[in-house]
Amino acid sequence: MRRWGAALLIVACGLPLITRNAYHIDVLTGAGLYALLALGLNVVVGFTGLLHLGYAAFFAIGAYTYALLNLHAGVPFWLGLLPSAATAGLCGVLLGIPVMRVRGDYLAIVTLGFGEIVRILFTNLESWTGGPNGLLGIAHPTIWIPGQGVWGFGVRSVPYYYLVVALTALTAAVCVRMNRSRVGRAWAAIREDEVAAACAGIDTVQLKLLAQGCGAAIGGVAGAVFAAKQGTITPDSFDFILSVMVLAMVVLGGLGRVSGAIIGALVLGVLPEVLRGVEQFRMLLFGVVMISMMRLCPQGIMGALRARGLFRSPSSTVDAVPAA
């Protein structure tokens, strides 16, 4: 599996050299951001089994945290990543504290409400967030190149593409290591049977809070990258549909599988653009593809490939999750 991951990373790094089309690179950058969000939600839903329908809220919190720090305190992008992740992670923990005893559909309803509360809050705090008009003039990332000085990303697609690839690869590596650690095994126990896990001595409350915080922090990082790339953000960018899309990516790729979250995000991130030529039937075809995949591959894309003996490694047992 490591060889496949290294090969995919090399291919991803070489794509801008193959295609010079800025539109194609921008679409792949958006798919990479989806992959980052899917990895974060996979920690909550896939690793721990907590159904979350308001994940877009953490994406919004990270974006607005960086935007406010940049506009009011002049904080650059690289220094704004950490506060964005920390703020979103803290909000994830604070959300988890009052709802830890809620499960299943009730947890989904509570998280859905949280996502809508955050979006409406950003819409109504007009003096801070600009209201429905959002925030404008957010600074793009800059880097220092020896001999050339400070170089800004601007509106170019390629620098953001490589930034997203690097962050996604780093996040995926951390998620894999975490999933194979004692914490990951405890999360798997909670996912399979929380009562049995508690009887075995696992502190289910602390570990669920940790999962909420880690998943939310990843969403905060993605939000900061999104705000820096766009240069402007509005509350409409973080609606309920985004949360559903990210959840669909995790399920399509395979619940609990790091590679599956990335594959699902790439498929659903690129597919709408591929179907743009048949715009009148795009959403219909999109739905048909989703239904067909879930009918033929109930374990997700990576689950189907592993069932056929592909992408299997001696250490892949922790990464495998049976179909619900």
For 80-131, the pLDDT digits (tens) are 999 999 999 999 999 988 887 777 788 889 999 999 999 999 999 988 898 9
Question: What is the percent of the chain with per-residue pLDDT over 90, rounded to a whole number?
Answer: 50
Report the distance separating Cα 40 and Cα 33, nearest Å: 11
Q: Which helix (H) or strand (E) holds 94?
A: helix 77-99
Residue 311 has pLDDT above 60, yes or no: no
Cβ contact 87:58 at 8 Å:
no
Report the distance separating Cα 16 and Cα 20, nearest Å: 6
Residue 200 has pLDDT above 50, yes or no: yes
Q: Does the pTM exceed 0.95?
A: no
For 167-197, the pLDDT digits (tens) are 999 999 999 999 999 999 999 999 988 889 9
Pick from 37-41, 107-111, 293-297: least confident: 293-297
Q: Which helix (H) or strand (E) holds 157?
A: helix 157-179
Domains of the chain and CATH, by start: 2-307 (1.10.3470)
Which of 245-271 are b and which e, b meaning 16 or more Cβ less than 10 Å from the residue's Cβ?
bbbbbbbbbbbbbbbbbbbbbbbbbbb
Rounded alpha-carbon distances, angstroms, from residue 281 to 74, 89, 246, 275? 45, 39, 22, 8
The neighbour count for residue 190, using CB atoms within 10 Å, is 23
Cβ contact 207:183 at 8 Å:
yes
Residues in contact with 71: Cβ distance below 8 Å, sequence separation at least 6, in sequence order: 135, 137, 138
Nearest CA to 259 out of 217, 211, 318 is that of: 318
Helix axes 77-99, 56-73, angle to 10 degrees: 140
For 18-33, the pLDDT digits (tens) are 877 888 899 999 999 9
The neighbour count for residue 105, using CB atoms within 10 Å, is 9
> Which tokens sit at 138?
């957010």
